[in-house]
Chain A
Amino acid sequence: DAGVIQSPRHEVTEMGQEVTLRCKPISGHNSLFWYRQTMMRGLELLIYFNNNVPIDDSGMPEDRFSAKMPNASFSTLKIQPSEPRDSAVYFCASSFPRYEQYFGPGTRLTVT
């Protein structure tokens, strides 16, 4: 079975540009999470969806970040405009409710 799929795996962009990260959760999972990992702050939960509905976006750093889940098999995380401090690895994870989360391979974002 395919795991969580993320694209792109690497993204290098200039400050001010729009960045869109994509995620396909494991089929059948109805919970989806976006995380950010940096050396300074570790793993941070950005937003959580359940049944395609955003339940908790309190971890989204600011209005420049937005996330959508238009259907059960696709989610996006958008940063507009991007800033150098957004450089991090962004992970998407999915699960059945209250079960273990399975993580995608991550997208390494570099904003110059």
Chain B
Amino acid sequence: AQKVTQAQTEISVVEKEDVTLDCVYETRDTTYYLFWYKQPPSGELVFLIRRNSFDEQNEISGRYSWNFQKSTSSFNFTITASQVVDSAVYFCALSEEGTYKYIFGTGTRLKVLA
């Protein structure tokens, strides 16, 4: 069965703190794709990253970094030196090879306080 768990419902941090958003997934497939999306207060869903199951290299993009560990079925997202503009709901999603469907997690609401 496919499942994505984002156990952190809401996180509050003070600006400039680092924060890690957890994502744990379940799948029986060996080929799959993982995604992170950001949903700011304005409501749109913004694509952040796509990672396939054969690529366990960590990714860094500016203040954002992602740690993919197949051994623990996790795809965690870290924001370094958080800013108020990072306040949003962040969704992790899973898609198995051969299917178009995304399995979304329930999202983590991040509040960055000035």
Question: Which residues of A are interface residues toward B (Cβ below 8 A)?
Answer: 31, 33, 42-43, 45, 48, 50, 55-56, 89, 91, 93, 97-106, 108
Contacts and interface: CB of A to CB of B under 8 A. Distances in A.
Contact of A55 (B37, B46, B100): B100
Contacts of A99: 50
B35 interface: yes
B104 A42 contact: yes
A105 to B, nearest CB: 5
Contact of A102 (B47, B91, B95, B100): B47
Interface residues of B, number: 18
Interface in B24-64: 33, 35, 37, 43-47, 50
Interface of B: 33, 35, 37, 43-47, 50, 91, 95, 97, 100-102, 104, 106-107
- Name the 8 nearest CB pairs between A and B, nearest first: A103-B45, A100-B50, A105-B44, A43-B104, A100-B47, A106-B43, A48-B100, A42-B106
24 contacts: A33-B100, A42-B104, A42-B107, A43-B91, A45-B101, A45-B102, A48-B100, A56-B101, A89-B43, A93-B45, A97-B100, A98-B33, A98-B95, A98-B97, A98-B100, A100-B35, A100-B47, A100-B50, A103-B44, A103-B45, A103-B46, A105-B44, A106-B44, A108-B43
